[in-house]
Amino acid sequence: MKRLVLFLCSLFSISITGCKQSSSKGVIKIVSPKETRMLLEEETIQFIDVRTPKEFDKGHIKGAQNIDYLSGRFNSEVEKLDKTKPVILYCRSGKRSAKSSKKLLNAGFAEIYDLEGGIIKWKEAGFETKF
């Protein structure tokens, strides 16, 4: 519990120091692989891999749902998610997840996390992927 409080305080301080984009609809927070791993312990997190299905099948982070940012169905698939629950997004390096985060923000999602550096940084941090 103490770790969770410290983690949440650290996220709050990061958001205040300018690592966020805000609107009246919600907030985008850039999170490290370590922070992402801690967030994944929460049951209410929606975890989305925005890479192509081919990339996803070559290896993804356990628990991720694949919604391809480049597909024509991205917006309709995102609409099926719960806007009141936190969402973590990732891609290969962070570019598509940043674009996806903005789309979710504009769609009214309240709490959006973007994995800094994507699956590349996740692997560099020594965390596992699943096939």
Which residue type occupies 42?
E
| 88, 36 Cβ separation under 8 angstroms | yes
| Catalytic option among 11, 91, 104, 112 | 91
User: Which tokens in the block code for residue 79?
Assistant: 């609409």
Sign of CA dihedral 27, 33, 38, 41: positive
Any catalytic annotation for residue 19?
no
Q: What is the SS3 assignment for 60?
A: strand
Q: Which of 69, 66, 68, 62 is nearest to 37 (CA)?
A: 62
* Dihedral Cα 46, 103, 14, 115, nearest 10 deg: 50
Residues belonging to the active site: 91
